[in-house]
Homo-oligomer: A and B are copies of this chain.
Amino acid sequence: MTRRRPAIQHPFPDPVYLETVLKPVFEQAAKHLFQPLIEINLAHAEMLEQCGILKKLHSSKIRKALTRLCLDRDKLGSRGYAGEEEDLYFYVEKQLAGLCGADISGHLSVARSRNDVDIALYRMVLRSEILETSNRVRQLRSAVLSLAGRHLDSIFPVVTHTQPAQPSTMAHYLLAVCEFLERDQARLKHAFEITNQSPLGACVATTTGFSIDRTLMASLLGFDRVLENAYGCIAATDYVLEATGAIQTMMIHLGRVVQDFLVWSTPDSGLLRLPDGFVQCSSIMPQKRNPVALEHLRVLASLAVGHCQTVAAALHNTPFGDIVDAEDDLQPAVRSVFSYSSRVLELLTAVLETAEFQVEKARIKCQSGETTLTELADTLVRQHGLPFRTAHQITSRIAKRLRMSPQRRKGETPFEKISVLLEEISGSVTGDSLRIPPQQVERILDPVHFVKIRRIFGGPAPPTVKRSLKTRQRNLEQDRLWLAKRLKQMKQYQRKLFERGSRPRGDI
């Protein structure tokens, strides 16, 4: 039980430090940061050469060695970390020295430090994750819009405070989802722009006395611009808080939609039917059809939110400077934010592409007349000039009477009964009996009619929703173009970097 460690002092690294810090950090870095680290090295060599700080010949050899190192990346994964090099940065430096000689590779360390390189790595991984996530949001929006397009006329009971409130359409609900996803994508876009700024050249925190070209360095690596203040480059972490904050807002909102879907999947509600691919059966109860994909969506979204708050917790009450807290140890939490939210987006898209809304059941729930009573009140206002509050009072009493004594005379339709009640109650409320014939009552209380006349901007009437749908599609297309441009930009800088790396200009 007692691992009795004699209190001897070890040279660096202490075995406990190796196990609890260096090893997990190295493994994490090897998994995510190797490729961008090679890229930074390539760009640094090229920039130093163009600024006349590194000889062409040296630059050429270094870049060839880096390209080769990148091809051998599998080696990295297979070897266990044993602490020979402190971290990935020094591992690459050592490999490079092995390939082209320390006399040459040693020239690459000028005018930079682990500080600016590390932050650049984190930003490069993060910008990719933001773009990938944006792409998944785009796919989800596309699935939602396509579903909405199929349900423009599907009557559906809006629920407020757990109770059916008014009829609307499935498409109207889905466009509400699509609208907030547009805003989520805008937030991710802004986060991308904040992230895609280059800290390189900040070195430790004060730049360098060498005349390097920060702008060139940034452009070689696909950054949009240089982040100015060198101290801020290594100290500020709002880029990661903004990105994870955008994810948190999206996950909380999608989680809310999932809550609705979960209720709709209960047999009591029955509005939503998941296809077999997403339904697990019970190990013991033969009759069950568990729509667990939805439960997984809820908890995966919760975990994404939890990891966002973990990122905040790690940065809270730390100094404003180059600190460990904002670096290696934080990265797994950031990775988790994106891997969990990706699982949510991907799974929800797949579910929505095949889920079936039980349109008929939804319509029947709106048929009772209860959810359309507002329209009766509105009609009293429109046709009879009653103040709304009075009209509301009359219909409230009708609703109460219907609930208290639901039975009808033989052969009496519900609309006849309402017509009679209206006459009686309006008389007692206003002193003036109002009469609306049963057929008209039927039309007023028809949920299709209810939806059809709600045609102002943002309303559920099918033509209105169709117009909204077009706006949503236009916005989706614009975001798709933005995204395509960004993804192309990412591919291009990489291609150019490696092309030039393997065939530097000086060679020809």
Residues of B within 8 A of A11 (CB): 276-277
A163 touches B267 (CB 8 A): yes
Beyond A161-B291, A299-B330, 19 additional pairs, beta carbon < 8 A = A8-B354, A10-B277, A14-B277, A17-B277, A20-B300, A86-B280, A109-B388, A113-B282, A158-B231, A160-B290, A161-B290, A162-B266, A209-B382, A210-B382, A230-B458, A256-B320, A284-B374, A303-B329, A306-B310
| A383-405 to B contact mask, C-beta < 8 Å, 1/0 | 00011111010011011000100
**A350 contacts B286, C-beta separation under 8 Å:** no
Q: Is the CB of A287 within 8 A of B231?
A: no
List A1-25 residues whose CB lies under 8 Å from chain B. Answer: 1-3, 5, 7-14, 16-17, 19-21, 24
Q: Which of A184, A234, A257, A307 has the most CB of B within 10 A?
A: A307
CA distance A65 to B487 in the complex (A): 54
| CB neighbors of B among A410-465 (8 A) | 450-451, 453-454, 456-460
Per a CB cutoff under 8 Å, which of B287, B291, B322, B460 touches A370? Answer: B287
Q: Which among B179, B321, B347, B349 is the interface contact of A228 at CB below 8 angstroms?
A: B179
Point out the residues of chain B lying under 8 angstroms from A302, CB to CB: 310, 313-314, 316-317, 325
In the A-B complex, the 7 residue pairs with the smallest Cβ-Cβ separation, listed nearest first, are: A306-B310, A106-B387, A14-B277, A317-B317, A106-B389, A176-B232, A295-B324
Query: Is A298 among interface residues, defined by CB-CB distance under 8 A?
Result: yes
Question: Beta-carbon contacts of A261-289 to B below 8 Å, as 1s and 0s?
Answer: 01101111100000111111111111111
Alpha-carbon separation in the docked complex, A320 to B313 (Å):
18
A353 interface residue (CB < 8 Å to B): yes
Name the B residues within 8 Å of A288 (CB-CB): 160-161, 163, 165
Chain B nearest CB, measured from A229 CB (Å): 5
Interface residues of A in 163-209 (CB under 8 A from B): 163-168, 172-173, 175-177, 179-180, 183-184, 187, 190, 194, 201-209
Q: In this assembly, does A154 line the interface, its C-beta being within 8 Å of a C-beta of chain B? A: no
Using Cβ atoms and an 8 Å threshold, which residues of chain B touch A215? Answer: 457
Give the residues in chain B near A347, CB-CB below 8 Å.
16-17, 20-21
A162, A236, A267, A277 interface centre (most CB from chain B within 10 Å): A162
For residue A245, which residue of chain B has the nearest CB?
A: B245
Among the listed stretches A27-35, A72-80, A247-255, which one makes contact with chain B, having 4 or more residues with CB under 8 Å of it? A247-255
Whether B210 pairs with A378 at a CB distance below 8 angstroms is yes
Q: Looking at chain A's contact residues, is the secondary structure mostly helix, strand, loop, or mixed?
A: helix
List of B residues within 8 angstroms of A210 by Cβ: 378, 382
- Which of A102, A161, A392 has the most chain B CB atoms inside 10 A of its CB? A161
Tell me, yes or no, whether A38 is within 8 Å of chain B by CB: no
Name which of A256, A289, A386 has the most chain B CB atoms within 10 A of its CB. A256
A40 within 8 A of B: no
- A293-B17, A354-B7, A456-B211 known; A299 vs B314 contact (CB < 8 Å): yes
Note all chain B residues with C-beta closer than 8 A to A255.
Answer: 316-317
Q: What per-residue 1/0 map shows which CB atoms of A479-494 lie under 8 Å from chain B?
A: 0000110010000000
A77 to B333, CA, bound (A): 25
Minimum distance in angstroms from A296 CB to a CB of chain B: 5
Q: Which residue of B is nearest A310, CB measured?
A: B306
The interface residues of chain B lying within 8 Å CB-to-CB of A298 are 317-318, 324-325
28 pairs from A and B in contact (CB 8 Å cutoff)? A1-B483, A1-B487, A14-B275, A16-B349, A93-B389, A106-B389, A109-B387, A110-B388, A113-B284, A162-B262, A165-B204, A166-B285, A172-B231, A204-B374, A206-B454, A238-B249, A241-B248, A245-B246, A256-B318, A259-B317, A259-B318, A266-B269, A286-B374, A286-B395, A298-B325, A302-B313, A303-B310, A303-B330
Nearest CB of B to A62, in Å:
11
**In this assembly, does A56 line the interface, its C-beta being within 8 Å of a C-beta of chain B?**
no
Shortest distance between the CB of A330 and any CB in chain B (Å): 7
